[in-house]
Each structure stands twice: as structure tokens, then as C-alpha cells.
Amino acid sequence: MGMFLEAAAGFPTVLFTAALLVAVCFWLLVAVGVAGADSFDGDADLDVLGLGGMPVAVAFSLLTAVGWFSSLSATVLLDPVVPGGALRGLTDLAVLAASLVAAWRVTRVLVRPLHRLFPDEPGPSRADFVGLTCTIRTGRVDAEFGQAEVAALDGSTAVVQVRRQGDEPLGLGGTGLLYAYDEAGEFFWVAPYDPALDPRQAA
């Protein structure tokens, strides 16, 4: 154990050790909700390194962990056979360079399967349905009950909860306009749709 601790605190592994401590502290902040995994996404472009497709913090953490393990392992293995002096200094520099290259290559390989966990575009939001027309799928719609089918701009459809104010009839098969979303109740406010009043139809 003493050999590993000495290697982790010595050059070149100490560089990765310091970075690893920073990464661990960051993820602790993420765990308690103080920071987000994508906090640094606007500050760096990893595509030039072939590491695009995941948050910067994740890529940095992977690079650091792999580099730390590579450097620590190489240092422990070479320490008994490499004498001190200039040769030891050259060996340490070689270990540092090799660990950086190994970390980059391994992280590039890991990016491919992990990319699916971090989509480039945010998923559809319920707020995207506001302003769209819908087809009523229940026999009635009032302030307490109702469902409707709405088609998103990408062509997908969804059945959503709708509520209505007023006495104007709106029932099964009718066309309504989703004009607001209630976050607390998780439903849309809907009104009877009149094509004559839709400026898009006039255009």
C-alpha cells in the first residue's frame, strides 16, 4: 500500500491525482445538486479531440481516471527496475506522455457507446404543444376531465390531458386549440378551434 501511495503522490502521477481529486469534488457537487454535469459544455469544444458527444465534465473525468490508473501502474512497475538520476527523469516524462495518450485513446473508445446517453438535442417538451390544434378523444371536456390527441411538429403524436373553461361544447372528435399549459396540474387548457380566427389560415 505504501508503494501505491508514494507513486500516487510522486511525479508524474501526482498531476493526475490532483485532477482526479478535482473531478471527485465536482461530482460530489453534482450529487447534491449544486452543479450540473453540463456546467462546462459552453466553455470547451471536444470535437477537435474526437471526444464530442458527451458533457465536458464526463470526458474530463474519464481522461483523468484512465490517465491516473495508467500512470500509477507504470510507475509502480518501473520503479524497482529504473535507477535514479537523469534516466529516472526521462522515464517519468515518458510515463506521463504514454499515460496521456492512453487516456485519450481509451476515452475515445468509450465515447461511442456513451454518446447515446447524451443526445445532442433536448427531447420534446410539453410546452412545444402550446399553440397547436388537437383532436378531442373523450366524450366531454370540462374543468375536471378531458383528453386529446395532438401531433407535434416532428410528426409524432401524443395523448394529453386537457381542461376547458366556459360552456361552449367540445366533445369527441372535435378540434381544439391548446393555448396554455398548467405545470401544477400537468394538463393543457384547450378552447374550441375556429379556423376563421387563425391568422395562419389567413396567410
User: What is the block-wise mean pLDDT of the chain (203 residues), using blocks of 10 residues?
Assistant: 84 94 90 72 64 79 94 91 87 94 90 65 70 92 92 84 85 92 92 71 49
Contacts of 77 (CB under 8 A, 6+ apart): none
Cis omega (within 30 of 0) on the bond before 12?
yes
pTM exceeds 0.85, yes or no: no
The letter for the amino acid at 141 is: V
Q: Of the candidates 200, 203, 202, which has an alpha carbon nearest to the alpha carbon of residue 177?
A: 200
